Structure 1
Amino acid sequence: MMAKAARAAAAWKTYREVTRPGSPPLMTRVRAIPRMLGAVMRGQYAGMGKGKLALMGLGVVYLISPIDVIPDFLMLIGVADDFGVFLWLMASLLGESGRYVQREREVIQGRLDEV
């Protein structure tokens, strides 16, 4: 029961962040994910460490792996753990990509201010 509440709270927090006025819109965040991942791998974006990136990678592997902590044949419980990992992964990626887009905007604005 507690895990459901935590997943719902994380989904609501992500929704509020994505829809906040002045915040990068959803599709801008989605398109920024590959740039953000590349910047993290090159060490050009300190906002997200390689450890968190590795944890997200493990989340992806868990989602596509046929091996689960809670087997899917246990109906709702088995699917719920996958859904929880999916929600965490999406919330993390969308939240972090929003911060990355804001950073990109600040860097561009800083360069324009120098000119």
Structure 2
Amino acid sequence: MRGRGTMGDMGRTLKRAAAFSALGRAITAGARGGPSIGKRLAALPRMIKATMKGEYDGGLRLALMSAAMIYVASPIDAVPEALLLVLGLADDALVITWLAGAVLAETERFLTWEARRESVIPGTVL
């Protein structure tokens, strides 16, 4: 039994580390020549619109990000905070960190997709 708990703890630790790493890479991307945070956030409405039209393949990722926002904002999430105090807030911090990293990473992916799409010249292939 102890072995299972240890592996589960390790898996959660690795997921947290990956979330923080993704967030760090996304935040520093602007300094390395990537899109700024403002440009990424401005791309959100276009990304949602392109996904809804079926032009962009971000549907599952947008659904996961929406679920994370609902989880953090929902009154159901108040129960862990009331009962577990610090641990209840820790899950929110993890979800918010993942959400920030996911939004930044997905908007960068969308901006790359958008740039490639604009560089294509419409026409007929013979």
TM-score scaled to structure 2, two decimals? 0.72
Report the number of matched residues.
109
Give the corresponding residue for 1:6. 15
Answer yes or no: is the 8 Å Cα contact 2:35–2:108 preserved in 1. yes
SS of aligned partner of 2:75: coil
After superposition, what is the alpha-carbon deviation per residue over 1:55-108, rounded to whole angstroms, capped at 9, x for unaligned?
222111111111128611222100011111111111111101001111212222
* One-letter identity of the residue aligned with 2:50: A
Give the corresponding residue for 1:53. 62
**Residues in 1 aligned to 2:13 and 2:85: alpha-carbon distance in whole angstroms:** 16
**Residues in 2 aligned to 1:45 and 1:58: alpha-carbon distance in whole angstroms:** 19
Q: Extract structure 1 runs of 4+ deviating beyond 4 A.
A: none
Unaligned residue ranges in structure 1 (runs of 5+): none
- Say which one has the larger Rg: 2
- Tell which deviates more after alignment, 55-64 or 11-20: 11-20
**Residues in 2 aligned to 1:12 and 1:55: alpha-carbon distance in whole angstroms:** 19
Identity of aligned residues (%): 37
User: RMSD of aligned C-alpha atoms?
Assistant: 2.2
Give the corresponding residue for 1:23. 34
TM-score scaled to structure 1, two decimals? 0.78
Are residue 72 (structure 1) and residue 81 (structure 2) matched?
A: yes
